[in-house]
Amino acid sequence: MEAAISVVTAELVSRFISFLKNKYQSSLNHAESEEKVVERLQHLLTRVSIVVEEADGRYITNSGMLLQLKMLSEAMYKGYRVLDTLRYKTLQDSACFDKVSINDSSSSSLYLAIPFKRSRTYREKDDKAMCLESDGVMESLETIVAHMAEFVVLLGGCERMSRRLYDVYLYTNSYRFGRHAEKQRLLTFLLEHNIPPGDHALEVLPIIGGVGVGKKTLVAHVCGNERVRSRFSSILHLNGDNLMTILDHGRTMFGMMLVVIEFASDVDDDDWKRFHSFLIRVSRGSKIIIVSELTRLARFGSVQPIFQSVLSYDELRYLFKTLAFGSVDPIEHPQLVQIADGFAKELHTMQGALVATNMYADVLRRNLDVQSWRCILDRGIRYVKRNISIYGVHPSTLLEQGHLVDITDFTLHPLSMRRYTINASIKEESPSMTLGELLANPSVRPNEDFILISWESRIPPRNTFARIVTSHAEDTSEGSALHPGRKRRGAPI
């Protein structure tokens, strides 16, 4: 009897080991198949990205080509997201295979196989979803590449933008920023030579979009174009609140000018007519760009406005990853790529937030450490949750509205922060520190109110984004007025 049991047991163990070996071999074949998918996807993305980059360096006026360029860029950003996901998954599976293959005839192999079996159902669901998405992206890219020949031929007839060494640096940042079709539309508007007759001798292009979607960044990149700068005698930046002060400077204005006006509020129609008529008299042929969040201001446009929406998740993720890794190849840091996805998801909930995107990327780029990145991401998530739970509003919205936000999770001390303004009640000699310094060591913060430098732009006009950090005990009336029915926890907003 014992001999029979021994034989049966040995047979069962042998079959089980064979099953594991077959499963492992099947997994290896599956991994090889995924490697081929990754290789094919990388090849397609290389071809598409080359065309997008080439298109971004030429002047395109054809509306159909701009539409195709938009489709190309959208497919490219989505493709890069799927490619990173596949790469990270392949690395995870490889690590799991290594564990299962160790001493597969020993008892330890049975122990390692148990968690593998328990998670198989969930992993198979993820694999199926990932497979469907990768197949869809692959099919989309293959279709786009198959129909790209005509676009490439037409692109060869478009004039190439000239670049100096400094322009290449600007171009790199411009390309990372995206907005390829919008940039081409703005360039076409500024470089067209046709002047409408009569009272509408000035062409006006409104650029309308929400907070932080990159309206001013788009204008800054285009205004740095060599042909744009040589076409206009000067580029004048105005604020809608003091629009009429330009009437006092008529004698000093000459030639064709580019006037960029940022409106925070609506303007009276009569005031606009006076301003418009004045520019026609002193500078015929000039052009005006209106930058605002207000859709109502589109009524002043002489051409179709550019309505700038928030970046898609795929485009924002691509931008953030490129800025965060800098010159380092993300392939060398697969865990950081996965953490970068977490940052991109949080930033995308902020409806734009290009400043926050650059702010976090600037801090992370200085220390490519997994633990550091996870810690900063965790602080950022808790910072958002804390403010929403107390005030019911996302902190980015509160900052834009001039309210205080609770930054206890960043400073590890009960402090609040608000947007810095010229009229802010803080001494000019007050101490300051950067966000990177604060995150690296919260204990080095000044004991008094101080200015926090969130981020400094590395390209002209080199804007500095500053915040004022104060004690929770200040300005209690503001928090009560913002949400009178909500129970307050310590800090006012």
- Identify the residue with better confidence: 206 or 479: 206
Average pLDDT over residues 92-100: 50
pLDDT at 473 over 60: no
The verdict on 327 and 410 lying in the same domain is no
The verdict on 22 and 122 lying in the same domain is yes
Structural domain contains residue 355: yes
The verdict on 473 and 403 lying in the same domain is yes
Average pLDDT over residues 62-88: 89
Q: In this predicted model, what pLDDT tens digit does every residue of 48-60 receive, in sequence order?
A: 999 998 998 899 9
Q: What is the spatial distance between Cα 58 and Cα 66, in angstroms, rounded to a whole number?
A: 12
With beta carbons less than 8 A apart as the criterion, state whether 415 and 470 touch: yes
Task: Extract the tokens encoding 270.
Answer: 């009569």
Structural domain contains residue 347: yes
Structural domain contains residue 382: no
Q: What is the spatial distance between Cα 476 and Cα 469, in angstroms, rounded to a whole number?
A: 15
What residues pair up with 415 in beta bridges, in sequence order? Answer: 471
Which region among 51-55, 105-109, 138-142 has the lowest average model confidence (pLDDT)?
105-109
Boundary of a domain, candidates 156, 191, 209? 156
Which region among 265-274, 308-317, 371-380, 479-488 has the lowest average model confidence (pLDDT)?
479-488
Structural domain contains residue 383: no
The verdict on 264 and 325 lying in the same domain is no
Q: What is the spatial distance between Cα 154 and Cα 39, in angstroms, rounded to a whole number?
A: 29
The verdict on 355 and 396 lying in the same domain is no
- Identify the residue with better confidence: 308 or 485: 308
Structural domain contains residue 7: yes
The verdict on 492 and 396 lying in the same domain is yes
With beta carbons less than 8 A apart as the criterion, state whether 372 and 234 touch: no
pTM > 0.85: yes or no: no
pLDDT at 247 over 80: no
Q: How high is the pLDDT of residue 252? A: 61
**Cα torsion angle, 326, 331, 336, 339, sign:** positive
Q: Which domain holds residue 400?
A: 388-493
Which band of pLDDT confidence, cut at 50, 70 and 90, is reported for residue 301? very high
Boundary of a domain, candidates 156, 178, 210? 156
The verdict on 275 and 334 lying in the same domain is no
The verdict on 177 and 271 lying in the same domain is yes
pLDDT at 483 over 80: no
Average pLDDT taken over every residue of the chain: 77
Look at the chain and report how many structural domains it folds into: 4
Average pLDDT over residues 327-351: 89
Output the domain CATH number for residue 57.
1.20.1270
The verdict on 96 and 123 lying in the same domain is yes
Q: What is the spatial distance between Cα 278 and Cα 210, in angstroms, rounded to a whole number?
A: 30
Which band of pLDDT confidence, cut at 50, 70 and 90, is reported for residue 379? very high
Boundary of a domain, candidates 264, 284, 308? 308
Three-state SS for 60? coil
Output the domain CATH number for residue 180.
3.40.50.300
Structural domain contains residue 376: no
Which band of pLDDT confidence, cut at 50, 70 and 90, is reported for residue 349? confident
Task: Extract the tokens encoding 409.
Answer: 């999770």
With beta carbons less than 8 A apart as the criterion, state whether 79 and 137 touch: yes
